[in-house]
Amino acid sequence: MIGGLLVVPGVLVAPARADSAAVTPGQWFAFDYDIYLDNGVGNYSGYTEQTLEHYRYHVVSVVGSNVTLFGSGNWQFSNNSGGSGSGSWSETFSYSSATRLYLWGFDVFGNYSKPAIWFWVPTPLANGQVLPILDDNFTVRAQSTDVWGGLPPIPRQGIQLETTGSFVRTDSYGNFNANWDDTYWFAPSSGFVLAETYVEQDSNSAGDGFRWRELATVTSASYLIPYDWAALLAVYAGIPATVAGALVSIRWYHRGPRHVRPTPPRTGPSVTVRRVRNVTKYLALPTATASPYGPFLPLIVRRARQRKCPVWVATDGTRLVGVMVREREARVSALFTSDPAIAKLFRSMNRSRGFFAELPPSAWVPPAQSVDRFSVLTLSPVPAPTSADPSVRPMRPEDLAAVLVLAKAVYTIPEPKWLRQAFDDGDLGFTAWDGSELVGFAFATVAGDDAILHTLTVDRRYRGQGYGHALMAARLSALAALGVQRALVEISVRNVASLAVARAFGFAKIGETTYYSRKPKRAVPVDRRPF
């Protein structure tokens, strides 16, 4: 918040993207934005109030340097006098990534002459450099400092910008001289906002006054947030040494790094397996694995961490050779490796009850029993575009709510958050309609020349009427137009209808994935391997 002016609830955090030059439609972020009035004197002695807000921004379109976003959310107000209120906010606005100026629409209340955006700065920045944010000039104070936020508080590392100022407040609170300090933290790699702290002190000649604070913190986003784990450990350290030693040992056992030689003839470099939280450096590694999912490993790692799922990676020094994901939503793990030695080490580091592996029971001795089998099929080359079915169209942002409702009705997962993530992250999505009623949907994830087809779903009442075939055709047509060379799909052997659709388009089986469980009778039903 700049200069003590009231802001539309929660408008102080960045649109989600991985770097400053790659804003794409469907990216998103969510944040908390809290306002407090306290430390009152005079007529404000003992008075307090707070406004707690949560909002979500979504990139609608990118045309050249013009970026359009849609923001929405809600707020709740209360004070110690019994006053309360609530409401919601939504706005579409646009800005230029070339000039950092708003083009149309505005997400901040106040009168500004030539406002610059507050959610991104070009990096790298030099100490002492001055940049405009809205109508104020901020100075770069440090290249890397910590800002704490969230519950429990976790330190985030960012470039620190500061400014101070004063103004005369004349509004429903009264007439006051206001002095304020405003501090932003931006991610060094991408330039996007991590947090903001605004503190204002108001006073007048009658002896009245109060403190006004505004605190903004990103809670989730489609871009990675840098944390200072060393600072976190320093603050929360202090447990007895014996307990600390035990925790370190357990952490090493379950998190690594641990080492293994590849399956016989056991040639080549040793493989290191570790659980990772900061996955940035692994996303740039080339992949080297016999698994058909090799081209998708960086994407699988990135999405899993965005969902806050535990991730283990296997590397041979310079290459990514395997991945394991513990999917919190489905309560299962997914192993992406065809090497039994790596698979065994993965399983020793995470003993979830249910898990997927590309190895059949005959290829290793898994500590569990087979519950279901999934055929892995591929199609290459992807056929040229076919004629469009009028009942199927590309998925739109406004379709997502209906898609999630249908998914919850069909799948066993209570809240299919991975579908929302897939759409927000740019997966190709298609919907099938009977008039105005959604009857099916399907997605495709693209990674270079390869694509995974997933989540072909048709309402039970409309199955057997050609909607699955039409959705498959729409996906393949879109992939062919993009130049994708190979399409991959994984289907349960029990799902006869979906297997028939895949084979009708020429998909051929190249392997099999097995769903295992340590307690088969209590196994959680899962319709797909988490990606």
- As a whole-number percent, the residues of the chain with pLDDT over 90 amount to 54
Residue 516 has pLDDT above 80, yes or no: yes
Name the token pair of 97: 């990534």
Residue 527 has pLDDT above 60, yes or no: yes
Confidence of residue 20 (pLDDT cuts 50, 70, 90): very low
Distance set, CA 298 to CA 273, 295, 309, 350, 513 (Å):
15, 8, 14, 20, 20
Task: Tell if the pTM clears 0.95, that is, is over it.
Answer: no
Residue 473 has pLDDT above 90, yes or no: yes
Residues with Cβ within 8 Å of 408's Cβ and at least 6 positions away in sequence, in order, are 414, 415, 416
Residue 10 has pLDDT above 80, yes or no: no
Give pLDDT tens digits for 66-116: 989 999 999 999 999 999 999 999 999 998 988 889 999 988 877 888 899
How far apart are alpha carbons 304 and 311 in whole angstroms? 7
Range with the largest mean pLDDT of 181-185, 234-238, 239-243: 181-185
- As a whole-number percent, the residues of the chain with pLDDT over 70 amount to 90
Torsion angle (degrees, nearest 10) of CA 271, 276, 280, 283: 40
Here the contacts of 317-320 (C-beta below 8 Å, separation 24 or greater) are: 317/269, 317/272, 318/285, 318/286, 319/285, 319/286, 319/287, 319/288, 320/282, 320/285, 320/286, 320/287, 320/288, 320/289
Rg (the chain; Cα; Å): 26
348 membership: H or E segment, kind and range: helix 340-349
Residues with Cβ within 8 Å of 375's Cβ and at least 6 positions away in sequence, in order, are 490, 491, 492, 493, 499, 509, 511, 512
Q: What is the mean pLDDT of residues 353-379?
A: 86
Helices (H) and strands (E) in the chain, counts: 9, 24
Residue 13 has pLDDT above 50, yes or no: no
What are the beta bridge partners of residue 442?
Answer: 430
DSSP-assigned letters across all residues of 282-337: HHTSPB--SSTTGGGHHHHHHHHHHTT--EEEEESSSSEEEEEEEETTTTEEEEE-
Rounded to the nearest 5 degrees, what angle is found at the Cα of 272, between the Cα atoms of 350 and 230? 75
Q: What mean pLDDT value characterizes the chain?
A: 86
Q: Around Cβ 439, how many Cβ atoms within 10 Å?
A: 22
Confidence of residue 524 (pLDDT cuts 50, 70, 90): low
The confidence score (pLDDT) of residue 321 equals 92
Give pLDDT tens digits for 438-454: 999 999 999 999 999 99
Peptide bond into 381 cis (omega under 30): yes
Residue 159 vs residue 2, higher pLDDT: 159
Superfamily of domain 392-484: Gcn5-related N-acetyltransferase (GNAT) (3.40.630.30)
At residue 201, the 3 state secondary structure works out as strand
Give pLDDT tens digits for 272-311: 999 998 999 999 899 988 888 999 999 999 999 998 899 9
Question: SS3 letters for 408-446?
Answer: HHHCCCCCCHHHHHHHHCCCEEEEEEECCEEEEEEEEEE
513, 332 Cβ separation under 8 angstroms: no
Give pLDDT tens digits for 44-58: 999 999 999 999 988
Give pLDDT tens digits for 371-415: 889 999 999 999 887 777 889 999 999 999 999 999 888 876 666
Q: What is the mean pLDDT of residues 171-195?
A: 90
**Residue 115: CA atoms inside 13 Å, Cβ hemisphere, count?**
19
CA 219 from chain centre, in angstroms, equals: 10
Name the token pair of 349: 């580091």
Residue 520 has pLDDT above 90, yes or no: no
Residues with Cβ within 8 Å of 356's Cβ and at least 6 positions away in sequence, in order, are 332, 333, 334, 335, 374, 513, 514, 515, 516, 526, 529, 530
Q: What is the mean pLDDT of residues 506-510?
A: 95
The confidence score (pLDDT) of residue 266 equals 60
- Closest to 61 in 3D by CA, of 426, 445, 442: 426
The confidence score (pLDDT) of residue 238 equals 53
The confidence score (pLDDT) of residue 410 equals 83
Please state the length of the chain.
531
The confidence score (pLDDT) of residue 320 equals 93
Confidence of residue 193 (pLDDT cuts 50, 70, 90): confident
